[in-house]
Structure 1
Amino acid sequence: MTDLVFADEEDEDAAAAAAALDPWVVLIVDDDVAVHQVTQLVMADFEFAGRRLLFLDAYSAAEARSLLQARRDVALILLDVVMESEHAGLELARYIREELDNHHVRIVLRTGQPGQAPEEHVIKSYDINDYKEKTELTKRKLITVFYAALRSYRDIMIIEQSRQALRRSIDAITRVYDSQNLRRFASAVLEQVAYLLGYEAQGLCASRVAAYAASHAEGRLKILAATPEYSRMLVDEEIGTLPPRVCAALDRALLEQQGNSDPQHFVGYYRSSSGNETLLYMEFAELIDEQARELLEIFCANVAITYESLLLREEIQDTQRSTVYIIGEAVERRSLEPGQHVRRVGEIAALLAEASGMREADVEFLRLAAPLHDVGKIAIADQILGKPGKLDEQEWASVQTHARVGFELLRKSDKRILQLGAIIAHEHHERWDGQGYPRGLAAEQIHLAGRIVAVADVLDTLLSRRCYKEAWRFEDAIAYLSAQAGTQFDPTLIQHLLARLEAVKDIYRRFPDA
C-alpha cells in the first residue's frame, strides 16, 4: 500500500520564489505509460532547495539516448531495465557514463523484474547510484530517493562549477595587466564565491577610485566584477540603470562607510589606506548565515587590495609612458616643428605590430619604445636640425650619426622598453634592399621592430610639415610607401598598412598637430 504524505501549505512568496528558479530536470525512462503518469502525479508538489521538478519522458532506451544527446541539464534519471530488450536500461546506463561521458547525472534503476538484473551484480558492474524494485517504491520512499539524488547532484555541480570558475580565475590572474583583465578575474572569483557558499546568487562588485590614483575616474563608482545577471555593467560601467533596491543599498554603504545586509542580500564595504572604496553587492535565493557573510567580507577586502595594486602599477606605467613622450617630443621640438610625431609613430607601429601577429604584450612594448627612435638627435647641432634647405654632405653625415648615438644611449639600460628602443634607434633607417644606414642591413637582417618603425616614421614625416618641406597629401604619402615596397620597406608591412588605412586615418584624427 502506498504511503500518503500531505504537503504543507506554502505561502505565495515561497511559491513565487520557487517558480523563479530553474526546475530540477528528471528523466523517466520506462516503457510503461502508467509508471510515467503515477510518478509525475505523486511528485507533483515536490520541491528541493527552492526548485520544482520538470519531468521528461522516454519510453525506450533509444528514445532516451536521443534526448540525452541534446541536453546536459538532466539531474536525475529513473531508469527501467527491461524495455526493447532485456538489458536495454543497463546498456543505456553504460552509454551515459562511457560514451556521453556524463558523470554528473544521478541514475536510479527501477525494475519490476529483479531477476533479470540482480542488485549485487548491477551495482558492481554499472555506474548507477541506486537500485530499487518498483514494488518497494512507496510515495515516501520515492521522496527519499529524490532528496538523496538531487542533493548529490547539486553538490557535484557546485564542485564542477567551482572548478570551472577557479580555472577562469587562474587564467585571468596570469594576464591581470589591465583593468579589463582584472574585471574578468574578479567576476570569476565572484561566481566562485557564490558556488562555494552553496547559494544561488547574483551580484556585482564596484569601486570608487581616489582622484589621485586614476584621474579619469575621479569619484566615480565603476563596476569591477559582475555575475551574468549584471554582466552588462562591464560594458558601460554606469550604475544608474541598476534596480532601485541595489542603488539604495550601495548608496547607504557609501554614506555610512560600512556594509549592510538582510537575510537575502549582502553589501560589503572596504576602504583602502589610500581612500579607494570598494563595494560588493550580492542577492541570494536562500537565507545567508554569518559564515557566508564573513567569507564575502574577505572577498571584498581582497578585491579592493588587488585593484589598488593594479592602479599603482598603471600609474607607474603612465608615468613611464609620459616620460618617453616628453623625451621624444623634446627632441622633435629642436627641429622647430612641434607636433605629435612621436605619439603617432608609436600608434602606427603598434597597428603594424598587431597586424604582424605580435603578442599583445609585445605590441604594447613597441608602442612605448617606438617614440624613442630619434633620441640620438640630441647630439646633432641645432643649425643642422633646423636648416630649411637641403643638407650638404658633411651635414648629412652628421645627421646619420643619430642612429648610433641613440643606440649607445639606450642600450646601457637593462629595462626591456629601453633595450627595444635601442634596437629601433639603431635600425629604423636601414632599408629592405640593404642601402640604408648605419650598417647596411637588408631584409630580415633588420629587426622586425626596426622595419615597422621605418614605415611608421617615414609615413608620419611625409604627412607632417617640416622646416624643409610642406606636409604631403595622405594619398600621395601612401602611394610613395607603396612604390617603395620591396626596396626601402618590408613589402609585407606595406600590405598590412594598405589594408588598414582607415585605422591610420583614425590615429591622425586622435593625435592632430597643434
Structure 2
Amino acid sequence: MSDLLFADELPEPEPTSTRPPWTVLIVDDDPTVHQVTELALVGFEFAGRGLNFVNAYGGAEARTLLAQRDDIALVLLDVVMETEHAGLDLARYIREELRNQRMRIVLRTGQPGQAPEEQVIKNYDINDYKEKTELTKRKLTTVFYAALRAYRDLMIIEQSRQALRRSIDAITRVYDSHNLRQFASSVLEQVAHLLGYEAHGLCASRVSAYAASHAQGRLKVLAATTQYQGLLDDSEVQELPPKVHAALQRALDQCTGFFEDLRYVGYYRTSAGNESLLYMEFTDLIDAEVRELLEIFCANVAITYESLLMREEIEETQRSTVYIVGEAVQHRAKESGFHVQRVSEIAALLGQALGLPDAEVEQLRQAAPLHDVGKVGVSDSILDKPAVLDAQERQHMQLHAQIGYELLRHSGRSLLQLAATIAHEHHERWDGQGYPRGLAGEQIHVAGRIVALADAFDALMGHRPWRSAWALPQVLEHVRTQAGQQFDPQLCELLLQSQPQLEALYQRWPDPQPRLH
C-alpha cells in the first residue's frame, strides 16, 4: 500500500537471533584457564544473546584493554598474576579510576590463602568470589546467569535514567508536532526499559479530515526507539522494512492490534478518525499488563499529536490571515505584492542575527506584515499619487502609524500587541527625527527598529511610480551611511553581513522590477 511511507536513512532491523553477544573478559595468566572456561560455556545464551570472550593474561594487559572499550559485561578475574594482588588492584582500578559500576566482577583464585574471601568481599567492590576448584561447569553457568542478569538490569536502569533525562529536557519544548516526536520517543524508550524488557519499536499515526494537508493521508512516525530514530525525519520517504510494513498493514486492515511471536502491534483510532499504531519487538514474551500499558501510551501520543496538528492548523490560518490583510493594504497602496512577505522575512533574519529567542523571532515574523495596516485610513488620492508628496500630503500620510496602532492596540493577543507597537514605531528614527513621537535610540522598541530597517530596505529595492528600484549594492551603501542616523547601527551591521540571504530572499519573492546588481 503506497501510503505506508516513512523517512529514509534506516537499515532493516536485524532478527533477534543476530543480536550482539555479551562480552566477557577473562583475566588470568594461565592459558589453560581461558581454554577451559570458553569450552565450558559453549552454546551458552542469556536473553537471546550468546557470549563473546576477550582475553588478557595479566593485570597490565587488562588495564589497556579496559581503557579502550566499555562494552564488557562480566570480568572473570584471577588474583595472583604479575603480583600477589594484581587482580585486586585491577578490581579497584575498574571501580575507582574507570568509575565503571555496571561491569560485574567475579574473582577466581587458585590460592585462597593469598586473598581470604571475607577480607576481599569487605574491602573490594566485587560481585562474587570463587575458588577455581569449586567452579564446575554447572556452577560456572550459574555464575554467568546471575552476573549477566544483574548487568542487564543495571543497563536498563542507566538507559531509563538517560531516557528520563531526555524526557524532562524535551517536555518543556512540546509545542509542535516535531518536538512531540522527540519527547514521545524518549518516553517510548523509557517505557520499554522500565518494563524490564529489551525492546525496540515505533509509534505511528495516519491523520485524516482537517489534518489531511499536514500528513496527506500517510502514516507518519510519532515516536521511535533508538534503532528506529531515522524514521523521524520526513525529508525523504521510502517503504518500511517488509515485516514491519506487513504487520502495520494487517492492523490497519483489521482495525485492531495483535500479538505474535516476540512482537506486538497496537491499534488506536481517535474520535476524529485518525489511526495510530504501535509496533514493538521484544526479546522475551510480554504479559497482558505490559500490552495494556503500551496501548495507553499509543493512545495518548495519538491524541496529543492530533491536538497539536489542530493547533498548527489554527496558527497557519492566523499567519495566512495576517498576510492577506497586509497584502490587501499594500495592494491598495500600489506597492509590490511581495512587500509584506519580504519585510516579514528580513525582520525575522535580523531578529535571529540579533540573538532573539526563537519564539520571539517567529512572533516578529508574524507581526511584521501588519506594519502598514494604518494605511486603510489614508485617502486614495494620496496613496495613488504618482509623484513625491507635498508637505501637507506627507503629514496626512504619516497618520497611518497612529491609525495602525489604534486599530491593533485593543487586542489582548500578544501577537497583535506586538503588531501595534511595530505599526506605531516603524517610522521612528535612531536620531529622534522620525514620527509620530520623535523617539530616539533604544526608546524605540527593538521590533520597531527592526521593521523600520526591513521596511525601508525593501521599499528602496522596489519600484515606485516616482522612481526606479535601486540595485542591491546601492541599497546596502545607503544602509551603511544611515547607520546611527535613521537606523540602529547594530542592526545595520547585521544586515550588511547578510547579503547572501538577502539575494536568496529576492530570488524567492522577486519585485516586478528587481535590481540585484
In structure 2, what is the Cα distance between the partners aligned to 1:425 and 1:18?
63
Distance 1:428 1:277 in 2: 48
Q: Secondary structure, in 3 states, of the residue corresponding to 2:211? A: coil
Amino acid at match of 1:168: R
Q: CA deviation at 1:467?
A: 4.2
1:302 Cα shift?
A: 1.0
SS in structure 1 opposite 2:267?
Answer: strand
Structure 1 residue 81 corresponds to structure 2 residue 79: yes
- For residues 56 and 23 of structure 1, do their structure 2 counterparts lie closer, same or farther at Cα, with a shift above 3 Å needed? same
Aligned partner of 2:352 in structure 1 is: 354
Residue matched to 1:279 = 277
Work out whether residues 380 and 402 of structure 1, in 8 Å CA contact, stay in contact via their aligned partners in 2. yes
For the 8 Å contact 2:109–2:132, the answer to whether it is kept is yes
CA distance in structure 2 between the aligned counterparts of 1:179 and 1:471, rounded to whole angstroms? 41
SS in 2 for 1:35: helix
Find the aligned partners of 2:296 and 2:181 in 1 and give their Cα distance.
Answer: 18
Partner amino acid, structure 2, of 1:57: N
Of the structure 1 ranges 215-224 and 45-54, higher mean CA displacement relative to structure 2 is found in 215-224
Aligned residue in 1 for 2:192 = 194
- Residue in 2 that maps onto 1:345: 343
Q: Which of 307, 312, 316 does residue 314 from structure 2 map onto?
A: 316
The farther-off stretch of 341-350 and 410-419 is 410-419
Give the partner amino acid of 1:452. I
Counterpart CA distance in 2 for 1:423 and 1:342 is 17
- Residue of 437, 440, 458 corresponding to 2:438: 440
| Whole-Å separation in 1 of the counterparts to 2:176 and 2:508 | 22
Match of 2:90 in 1: 92
Partner SS state of residue 398, structure 2: helix
Residue deviations 1:113-164 (CA, integer Å, cap 9, x gap)? 2222222222222221111122211111111111000001101111111121
CA contact under 8 A between 1:108 and 1:129: conserved in structure 2? Answer: yes
Q: Counterpart of 1:450?
A: 448
Which residue number in structure 1 is paired with residue 30 of structure 2? 32
1:477 CA drift (Å): 2.6
Name 2:400's counterpart in structure 1. Answer: 402
Structure 2 partner of 1:110? 108
Pick from 183, 194, 210 the counterpart of residue 185 of structure 1: 183
- Compute the displacement of 1:18 (Å): 6.5
Within the candidate set 420, 423, 427, 1:422 is matched to 420
Please, which runs of 5 or more residues in structure 1 have no aligned partner? 1-15
Query: Contact 2:463 / 2:511 at 8 angstroms: preserved in 1?
Result: no
Task: Give the match for residue 247 of structure 1.
Answer: 245
Q: Tell me if structure 1 keeps the 8 A contact 2:351–2:361.
A: yes
Q: Do structure 1's residue 266 and structure 2's residue 264 form an aligned pair?
A: yes
**Contact residue 214 and residue 311 of structure 1 kept, 8 A:** no
Q: Distance in 2 between matches of 1:429 and 1:64?
A: 73
Per the alignment, residue 292 of structure 1 pairs with 290
Residues 1:149 and 2:123 are matched in the alignment: no
* Distance in 2 of aligned mates of 1:428 and 1:509: 25
Q: Identify if the C-alpha distance between structure 1 residues 237 and 226 changes in structure 2 by more than 3 Å, giving closer, same or farther.
A: farther
Residue 125 (1) aligns with residue 123 (2):
yes
Q: Deviations over 1:187-231 (max 9, x none)?
A: 222222322333333322221112312424232222222233333
Question: What percentage of aligned pairs have identical amino acids?
Answer: 67
Q: Which moved more, 1:100-109 or 1:226-235?
A: 226-235
Once the two structures are TM-superposed, the CA of residue 17 in structure 1 deviates from its matched residue by 5.8
> In structure 2, what residue type is equivalent to 1:344?
R
Equivalent pairs, count: 499
1:124/1:409 CA distance change after superposition, 3 Å:
farther
Superposed CA RMSD: 2.3
Structure 2 regions of 5+ residues with no counterpart? 1-13, 513-517
1:476 equivalent in alignment to 2:474: yes
Q: Indicate how the Cα distance of structure 1 residues 17 and 175 shifts in structure 2: closer, same or farther if over 3 A, else same.
A: closer
Q: CA deviation at 1:292?
A: 2.8
How far off is 1:19 after superposition?
A: 5.0
> 1:4-15 counterparts in 2 under 5 A?
none
Q: How many angstroms apart in 1 are the aligned matches of 2:92 and 2:399?
A: 77
Distance 2:289 2:168 in 1: 25
Paired with 1:433 and 1:79, the residues of 2 have a C-alpha distance of: 78
The worse-fitting range, judged by mean Cα deviation, of 461-470 and 93-102 is: 461-470
Q: Which range moves more in the overlay, 302-311 or 468-477?
A: 468-477
1:304 to 275, 288, 302: 302
Corresponding residue of 1:206: 204
Residue 478 of structure 1 deviates from its aligned partner by 2.9
